[in-house]
Every structure is written in structure tokens, then in C-alpha cells.
A and B are shown apart, each in its own frame.
Chain A
Amino acid sequence: MRALAMLCVPVILAAGWASFPAAAQDPTQGNAQGDLAVTIYNGGQALVQDIRQINFPGGRTRQEFPDVSAQIRPQTVSFAAEGTAIVEQNFDYDLLSPNALMQKAVGETVTLLRINPATGAETRERAKVLAVNGGVVLQIGPRIEILRDDGLPVRVIFDKIPPNLRAKPTLSITVDSKNAGTRPATLSYLTNGLGWSADYVSLYDEKAGTIDVQGWVTLSNSTGTTFDNAKTLLVAGTPSSGGANSYVYRPRPQPPGNLRRAGTETAPREQLGDYYLYPLAERTTIANAQTKQVSFLDVGGVPAQKIYEFTVALFDTMTEPASAASVIKFNTGAKGGGLGDALPAGTVRFYQRDLRGDPQFIGENQIGHTPMGSELGLKTGDAFDVKVKATVVERKQTGSTWRSSMSYLLTNARPQPVTLDLRQRGLDWYWAETKVITESQKSERLDSDGVQWRVTVPANGETTLTATFETRY
């Protein structure tokens, strides 16, 4: 028996080999993508349009589409080709694995190739898979056996792979074609894992009071798929995330935010509805696991002003001074020598040259989509040398009135005078009304909750500001 089996082996091998090259038709050899156009939105979502040349036979056929994004949202697929009508569309994700293959082989016959560990001799027999439940139960002729129960080497050779088991999730579309022939077919779909934001490099010149701004679009691809030679368009916005804004709870932002005044100018860029478009000049390959940056903005000498800001939240005594925020303010308008562009949302990193002339990093901040003509005030950090210490000098109640006398000590260890916007908040308590009774310098009421003084602190010096507040309830 064994001799016979041994004899059989080469014959079967040879027979298998003859059919082998035909089976090696490879769906992933090369790239099945056609003419790609990718539109990328901010929220990690992209629209892919893939125009492929497909040779449709006449009548009903099933077309598979390999090399679509691995994070395709199959429910968003649309397909169009001349002279074809869609019958159905399938997205199959029953993945091929040894276990899946064995499960699907229940009731089928497989080949067992036993290898004698002592001699290396091979024995071949056919076995029927009865069940796969915590172990594979096989029927070999009249015997019932458990696969590899003795731990000895056995090769299990399956005759075929069931058609619905695949290496990767696969999109297929069954179409009815009027006539045979090659023609372009447009496949378009939304995918996750492909998004973009902006990165700004902003070199601040303190002496000149200017910034040089370079803007980069940064697109990142974590779809698991490479998009070859794609026409790429970036949209500054996320059309899908909308919904009705009126239902969104928006807490009152604690002013000041980064956007100090919203602009009313229109940037000289292409628009899609309310969104600005940033097309890439050339076709580009967006490789999987790649972060790609392309320049879209380069403006020099934009006037920028540094200001210090400090907010005292409540009427509390500080036992130690605290640093004021250093804020760089600039305008994005074209009028009045601003930056002159709308800015897509992203991160602004500020640099400043040291005494040797090398740029050093001085802090970063984030901006939302900013219309042209806006005023931005971006905090870069806390000043080492400019500090504020607030003291409650007196705070007492008379009848239904609270009176709070505050004293603010502003110190500046810099060799230049600085301007500091000092804010006192905590004036609006819903049921109580607070106003300034006396102050050593005229304040500006920001809103119901706060007042602000713009104070100049002399070089290597200090300034004391006092104010008395009255709260009635």
C-alpha cells in the first residue's frame, strides 16, 4: 500500500502542476485602479472616483473591483458605464483563513499527506471532513479519526477554495451589458481613513512686527490602500458632519477665542458652495501609511502685533504671581496689508530667530476655518517675564450689596515696555449685577461677565491697577 502511495505522488504532483499556471491569474498583480480623482474632506473622509477600462461581455456578468480603498463605505458606491445596467452589487467580506477553509470543507473530501517523522516517507489518502468543532473529525474509508490527534505531521490539501472566501473584502457588481466591448466605467465611493488639515509655519519677527506665513496642506492616508497617480482636490470643510446646528448645544465660549473678529472678505480661490477648494497642481500618488504635504500659501511681511493677556477669573487673592499669555495678533484680510487669504483649519506653529539668526520654536496654536478679513489672536505661550498678581483688598457685604476692591500688580522684567490686556471676569452671576464703581484707569466692558483694561507696563518696571466692583442681588 505504501509503495503504491509513494508511486502515486509524482504523478499527482505533475498533474497538478500542469494546471497551475492557469490558476495563477492574479487579481492584484500590478494595480487595477484606473484614472483616479480623489476629493478629500477635513473629517477623515474622501470621495474617490475611479474610471476603469473594462471589457464587458454581452449580457449579464459579475465584475470584481480589486484595489478599491480597504476602508470603502460600500453603501456609498455608485457605478456607471455606457450601455450597462446594474443588476446587483455585493460586498463580500468572508475572509479566507485555514479555519474558514476547513469549516467550508465539512462534507467535502480532502487529501491527507502523512509524513513519517522517522523516514520522511509520504503516504497519501483521501478523507471526508465530518465536522469541525474544537477539532476536525475525519472519515477515512471506514475509519473515523481526529486530524493530527497523534501530533504527527499531516499536510491537508484542499481541492478548491469556495468562491465566496476571499483574501480581502471585495466589491463586486453584476451588470447587464447590451453589447460586448471595452469602455470606461466610473466607480465612485466614499472612504474613511483619508483626510487632511493645514499646517502653518509662521516666522515671527519681533522687531519688525511681522510674520512670514507658509501654509501646507497635510493629507494622511491610513486606508490601507495606495491611490496611484490621482488627481487630488481638497475641500476645506466637512459637508457630512452638519445636521441641524440648532440642536447642537454650544456652551458660550470663554472669550477671547483664537478668532477675534470674523472676516467678511472673499478669498480669490475656487469655491464649492460655502467651502473653499484646494486643488493640487499635479497628479500625485497617495501611498498607504503616507503623510503628504504640499504648499498652498506663502506670504511674507504680514503685520503682526504681540500683546500680553491675563484673565482673573474670580475675586480671589493670588499668593504668587502668574505669567501672562503672549498672544500674536494678525489680520487675514487683503485690505490694510493683512495676510490676504482664507485659512483652512489647522495648526499654526510659530518660530522666532535667536541671536544667531537660527529659527527657534516658540509655540503653536490651532485655528478653525478662518474667512478672509478675520482677526486672529493666537496664544503662543506664557511669558517668563510678564506677570500679574491680583489681591482682594477688601470684600464686604452691606445689605444686598457686595463690594470688592481689587488691586492688580503687573510686573515686567523685559527691557522693553509691554502692553497687557488685563481682564476681570466673574461679573455675571445670573441673579446679580456687577459694575465698576471706581478704577485707577478707564476700563472697557467686554460683556456682561467681564471688563478689560489695556495697561502699559514700563520696561523693567511694574504698574498697579486698582478697581472697586459692586454687586447687587
Chain B
Amino acid sequence: MRRIAPLLLILAASPAAAQSVVTSAAPDKVAVSVFRDPNRDEGGEIDRDWLNGFALISETRSIDLPAGEVRLRFEGVAEGMVAVSAIVTGLPGGVVQKNRDAALLSPASLLDGSLGNRVHLRRTDRATGKVSEEEAIIRSGPEGAVILQTPAGYESLRCTGLPESLIYDGVPAGLTAKPTLSVTTRSPTAQRATVTLTYLSTGFDWASNYVARVGPDGKTLDLFAWLTVANSNGESFADANMSVLAGTLNIEQDFDELVALPPQPQLNLTCFPLGSGRDGVPPPPPPPPPAPGGYAEESDGDNIVVTAQRRAMLQSVPVAISVVSTAELEDLGDLKLYRVPFPVTVAAHGQKQVALLIKDRVPFETVYRYRTDPEDETFATPSEILLRMQNKEAARLGVPLPSGQVAVFEQAQGRELLAGEGMMRDHAVGEKVDLVIGESNQVLVTVENYAPPKRREEDHRVVVTNANPFAVTLEIGFEVDDTGKLAPRLRKLPRKDGLPTWTVRVPGNATRTLEYLNPKED
């Protein structure tokens, strides 16, 4: 009887005792909208070890509510839930308050919450296997663990060299296994309600990955893009309506910080010095595992589809990619929303890819580019190779192109080879797409301060050499600050991307030269 008393007291002290508690275990329907890592560079990739994007999760749950005041607990939510962003709608009695409880049940909180309570100290005799149990009262907090009051007097736990363990009669009130979101509501009548819970969650990210395959004519390419979504949460979202959003959102708060747990009691089992001190004080216990969310387990790599598929693509015979359907695009304010047209399962610690867009026979031109200050000198420097497309319907494109990595493949020797890789920024419809996919050691630029006798030192000459057997187009842009000091010859050049640009067609295995005279420095 005496043993039961503390437990009853604990129950009575529980704040939940006054109201009934309803637990909603899982959603019936879920929609997941994934946002890119707001700090990722244009064209960057997903960091699977640390997903820095986030998602808006909208769950529909059917809940039977009794009349009166109810605390409604939500289970089966994402670990990375940003609780302060949670919106609960559909409750007939409205929301009195929302709570996220994060006092977690752990050895330390169990000890902390049982301070002053009666527990049982179990000792096992190593020699005889005899188990003896005696009552004890915890007298120290978890930081200075553990002093027990036993019938014999005051003792320290685990300083004796005996197998010892504490056994508790119950769990102190208010401790939960996981951080838990609950709302308090007051229903006028008992009824079944369809409740929508919407929240932001960390531990997601998405990216677009483009595959451009140059056609046999060398003048068009087939553009295909994967939409890659990753989830590092421990929860899977089955048959979800999934969409992803492209564009840049303003984010002020550190979501990871909002998800992080408030400080929890730490159990620190220490002893007085034992023996001659030659073994020193036992080291403190290892720190508790990091807060869930945002952190992918180390086990990734084996369940990832991309790499395999990409590798397959590298070696495959060139057959046009065909997909059942691509993501549907809609405008959402100033963002672009891509909706996956069929329900998908976003697996825990998993990555998923669906087709984002597919555009065949997009005309492009290959342009070589070099940018320099008119007063700089350089010798045989490689030029950038870029693919230029017009993001217009007339040029067989004309769709928003969200930023992502691009891999370009070309036919050679009867197989498909990687011709270059680049980064795509966000391109709106109507923009020119200049995709830098590498640099050329065949088309080289030399800018020299050539000064034959009787000539001034500011004389410059640009020499471009083409070692390819085919003609190339080269654009040399001059970065100018003071146009007053610009060589008259450069001043007359047409502007491209804001820079006076010398556009020259260099025939195969040929050289072309531009000379200009920079005005004398004062």
C-alpha cells in the first residue's frame, strides 16, 4: 500500500487530470510542400547529410471529440516540426491554447522528477545471483547524482562496485517520449471533427537537376529536369500530395533553433575518488544524442536512387527520356509551385525523384566568353564555354527554369559522353539562358601590352587563338568603370550583358586580333 501512495500523488498532481485527453495518432491525408534551402547558392545541390530546406506540412485528421474541455494531442507529426508555426483549424470549439511540451522522459528527468520520492534499490549478488531490494529515497538532483537514503543511512549509487539499479514506481507527470504538440479546445457537443494541422518542418530540401542531351545535329538539345526531394525526418508521409516551391523566400528565424529542445536535465553519475586515484575520476557520461531533426542518419547512400539513375544515364544508349507525367506548374504569388500530379510517399530518411520538366529539341548555340578589364594583361587564358538558349516559347522553351545543376551529354564514338556541367540560376520566361558548362583550352585569349618602338605603353592587343578544326564565336566583354578613360575603339563596341563586347567569329585553326589604345593616365 505504501508503495502505491506516491504514484497516486503524482497522478493527482498532473495538470492533465482536470481535462480529458484525446490523442490523434496519425493523419488521414497529408500534403507536403517542400522549400529549397534558402541559403543555398544558385545551382547548388542538396546536402543530404544536413538538409537545410524545410516543408509546409498540412495534415487532415478525423477526431472524435467529447463535449467540454479537451486536450488534443497530435502524434505522428514530423520530428522537425516548428511548433510555433502550427495552425489548427476545423475545431468546433476553437483553440484555447496550443502547447508544445518538450520535457522528455530520460534517466535524468526520471531521477530529477523523483527527487524526494521513494524508489527501490535493487542489488544483485554476483556470487550467488541473489537479488535483494530495499526502499530508498532520492536525496540529490541529477547533476550531483546520486545520493540515496536507505534504511542503513546515506549512500551513493554505483560507488560500491556492486551491481545496483534504481526502480521507480511511476513516471513523473509532464514527461513525454517526444516533443508533443497539443491544443486545448472546448467542444459544445461530442462530435467527430475534421481537423487540419498545418506546420513548417525542418529536415527537408529539394533541388532541380537538369540533364541536357545534345542532339545529333549539334544545334538542339533535349532538356530534362529531375525534381529531387529529400526528407531526413523519421516520419514517412504516405500517399502525400506533394509539391515543391521555387523562388526565394525571406526567412528570418533559424528553424533549427526553434525545433531544438529546451535544456534537459543531464544525469551525471559521479563518485568520490576510488582506490588510490590511479584510475582517476571516471569520465562523465557521453552527451545525450543530438536533437532530432535536420540531421540525416549516416546510413544514407545505399537507398538513394539518383546516383544509380545518373550512372545509368551516362552509359545508356541515346533513347529519348520519356516520362508518364511531369510536375504541374502554377504561380503562387511570386513563387513557382510544382505539383506532383499523383500521390507519392515521402519516405523517412529518403530521397525521391520525379520529372520536373521535359523540353525536346531546344535550339542552342555554343559561345565562348572571356571577360577582362581593358587594362589587364593575360597570356593564353582559357575561355568559358557556354550554351545559350532563349527561354521563349518560340525557341521551344518558355517555362520558368528553377535553379539547379546541369549535366550536358553529347554523342561521340557511338555513345553518350559527359560534355560539361554547370549551374543554372532561376530564369523567368523571356530571359536569355547563358549556361557556363566548362572552359576551353582550345580557344585561348591573350591580352598583351604590346609596345613596339615609338609606341606608347598603353597600347593593347587581344589575340584569340582557335585550335579547333571548326569555327567558334567568341565574346570578349570589357569591364569598365570609367568610360571617360575607355579606348575609343572599345567605346564603339556594342553592349552585351552591360559590357562593351567584341564579338568575333574565329575560323577553325585560326587567330584573330583586336588592337586598342588606352588613353594615357594622368
B174 near A17 (CB under 8 angstroms)?
no
Is A436 at the interface (CB under 8 A from chain B)? no
Interface string of A330-354 (1 = CB under 8 A from B): 0000000000000000010100101
Interface string of A228-240 (1 = CB under 8 A from B): 1100000000000
Complex alpha-carbon distance, A276 and B371, angstroms: 58
* Complex contacts, A56 vs chain B, CB 8 Å: none
Is B299 at the interface (CB under 8 A from chain A)? no
B200 near A361 (CB under 8 angstroms)?
yes
* Complex contacts, B479 vs chain A, CB 8 Å: 317
Complex alpha-carbon distance, A197 and B144, angstroms: 34
A287 near B15 (CB under 8 angstroms)?
yes
- The residues in A between 223 and 272 inclusive whose CB is less than 8 angstroms from any CB of B are 224, 226, 228-229
> With A96-B140, A153-B162, A319-B499 in contact, do A101 and B33 touch (Cβ < 8 Å)?
no
Is A149 at the interface (CB under 8 A from chain B)? yes
Is B87 at the interface (CB under 8 A from chain A)? yes
How far in angstroms is the closest Cβ of chain B from A418? 9
B262 near A323 (CB under 8 angstroms)?
no
A152 near B161 (CB under 8 angstroms)?
yes
* Complex contacts, A360 vs chain B, CB 8 Å: 33, 56, 243, 245, 332, 335, 337
A352 near B99 (CB under 8 angstroms)?
no
Complex alpha-carbon distance, A201 and B82, angstroms: 14
> With A97-B140, A167-B115, A319-B497 in contact, do A134 and B273 touch (Cβ < 8 Å)?
yes
> With A24-B137, A291-B102, A396-B482 in contact, do A113 and B248 touch (Cβ < 8 Å)?
no
* Complex contacts, B120 vs chain A, CB 8 Å: none
- The residues in B between 141 and 158 inclusive whose CB is less than 8 angstroms from any CB of A are 141, 143-147, 149-157
Which of B350-358, B422-430, B438-446, B453-461 has 4 or more CB atoms under 8 Å from chain A? B422-430
> With A31-B13, A111-B153 in contact, do A362 and B335 touch (Cβ < 8 Å)?
yes
- The residues in A between 1 and 30 inclusive whose CB is less than 8 angstroms from any CB of B are 12-13, 16-17, 20, 23-24, 26-30
> With A157-B153, A158-B155 in contact, do A95 and B144 touch (Cβ < 8 Å)?
yes
Is B207 at the interface (CB under 8 A from chain A)? no
* Complex contacts, A382 vs chain B, CB 8 Å: 247-248, 250, 334
B431 near A411 (CB under 8 angstroms)?
yes
Is A359 at the interface (CB under 8 A from chain B)? yes
* Complex contacts, A149 vs chain B, CB 8 Å: 275-276
B87 contact from A201, A318, A326, A414, Cβ within 8 A: A201
How far in angstroms is the closest Cβ of chain B from A348? 9
A365 near B252 (CB under 8 angstroms)?
yes
How many contacts between A and B, using CB within 8 angstroms?
339
Is B360 at the interface (CB under 8 A from chain A)? no
Complex alpha-carbon distance, A389 and B497, angstroms: 9
Is A472 at the interface (CB under 8 A from chain B)? no
Is A381 at the interface (CB under 8 A from chain B)? yes
Interface string of A158-171 (1 = CB under 8 A from B): 11110000011000
> With A289-B262, A317-B499, A319-B498 in contact, do A30 and B9 touch (Cβ < 8 Å)?
yes
- The residues in A between 373 and 412 inclusive whose CB is less than 8 angstroms from any CB of B are 379-387, 389-398, 411
Is A295 at the interface (CB under 8 A from chain B)? yes
B273 near A136 (CB under 8 angstroms)?
yes
B330 near A97 (CB under 8 angstroms)?
no
Is A151 at the interface (CB under 8 A from chain B)? yes
Q: How many residues of chain B are within 8 Å of chain A by beta carbon?
A: 111
Which of A116-124, A422-430, A445-453 has 4 or more CB atoms under 8 Å from chain B? A116-124
A411 contact from B146, B277, B428, Cβ within 8 A: B428
Interface string of A31-50 (1 = CB under 8 A from B): 10000000000000000000
* Complex contacts, A389 vs chain B, CB 8 Å: 498
Residue of B nearest to A285 (CB): B15
B248 near A323 (CB under 8 angstroms)?
yes
Residue of B nearest to A122 (CB): B125
A98 near B147 (CB under 8 angstroms)?
yes
Complex alpha-carbon distance, A30 and B15, angstroms: 12
- The residues in B between 240 and 276 inclusive whose CB is less than 8 angstroms from any CB of A are 243, 245-253, 261-265, 270-276
* Complex contacts, B277 vs chain A, CB 8 Å: 134-135
How far in angstroms is the closest Cβ of chain A from B284? 12
How far in angstroms is the closest Cβ of chain A from B513? 25
How far in angstroms is the closest Cβ of chain B from A14? 8
* Complex contacts, A229 vs chain B, CB 8 Å: 15
* Complex contacts, A168 vs chain B, CB 8 Å: 115, 141
* Complex contacts, A154 vs chain B, CB 8 Å: 160-161
Complex alpha-carbon distance, A297 and B431, angstroms: 43
Which of A57-65, A75-83, A172-180, A214-222 has 4 or more CB atoms under 8 Å from chain B? A214-222
Residue of A nearest to B485 (CB): A396
Complex alpha-carbon distance, A20 and B135, angstroms: 10
Complex alpha-carbon distance, A50 and B241, angstroms: 50
A161 near B95 (CB under 8 angstroms)?
no
How far in angstroms is the closest Cβ of chain A from B488? 13
Residue of A nearest to B272 (CB): A102
B270 near A99 (CB under 8 angstroms)?
yes
Interface string of A114-140 (1 = CB under 8 A from B): 011111100000000000111110000
Complex alpha-carbon distance, A154 and B337, angstroms: 69
> With A292-B99, A382-B247 in contact, do A135 and B155 touch (Cβ < 8 Å)?
no
> With A28-B116, A155-B162 in contact, do A380 and B152 touch (Cβ < 8 Å)?
no
Is A437 at the interface (CB under 8 A from chain B)? no
- Name, among B137, B250, B479, the residue most crowded by chain A CB atoms within 10 Å (CB to CB): B250
Complex alpha-carbon distance, A385 and B329, angstroms: 14
B155 near A156 (CB under 8 angstroms)?
yes
* Complex contacts, B31 vs chain A, CB 8 Å: 358
A99 near B272 (CB under 8 angstroms)?
yes
Is B507 at the interface (CB under 8 A from chain A)? no
Complex alpha-carbon distance, A20 and B200, angstroms: 53
A384 near B426 (CB under 8 angstroms)?
yes
Is B159 at the interface (CB under 8 A from chain A)? yes
A293 contact from B15, B98, B274, B431, Cβ within 8 A: B98
* Complex contacts, A27 vs chain B, CB 8 Å: 116
Is B318 at the interface (CB under 8 A from chain A)? no
Which of B126-134, B304-312, B408-416 has 4 or more CB atoms under 8 Å from chain A? B126-134
Complex alpha-carbon distance, A134 and B426, angstroms: 65
Complex alpha-carbon distance, A27 and B499, angstroms: 79
* Complex contacts, B84 vs chain A, CB 8 Å: 199, 216, 218, 291, 293, 347
* Complex contacts, B332 vs chain A, CB 8 Å: 352, 354, 360, 362
B430 near A26 (CB under 8 angstroms)?
no
A120 near B484 (CB under 8 angstroms)?
no
Complex alpha-carbon distance, A355 and B338, angstroms: 11
The 10 residue pairs across chains A and B that have the minimum distance between CB atoms: A396-B484, A97-B144, A134-B277, A102-B272, A98-B156, A153-B161, A383-B334, A413-B428, A382-B248, A26-B116
Q: Which residues of B are in contact with A by a Cβ distance under 8 Å? A: 6, 9, 13, 15, 31, 33, 35, 56, 58, 83-87, 95-104, 115-118, 125-128, 130, 135, 137-141, 143-147, 149-157, 159-162, 174, 198, 200, 243, 245-253, 261-265, 270-277, 330-337, 371, 400, 425-426, 428-431, 477, 479-485, 495, 497-499
Instruction: Sample 16 A-B pairs with CB under 8 A, ordered by A number.
Output: A20-B149, A98-B270, A99-B273, A117-B126, A117-B127, A133-B273, A135-B275, A292-B98, A292-B99, A320-B425, A325-B250, A363-B249, A380-B334, A383-B334, A384-B247, A396-B483
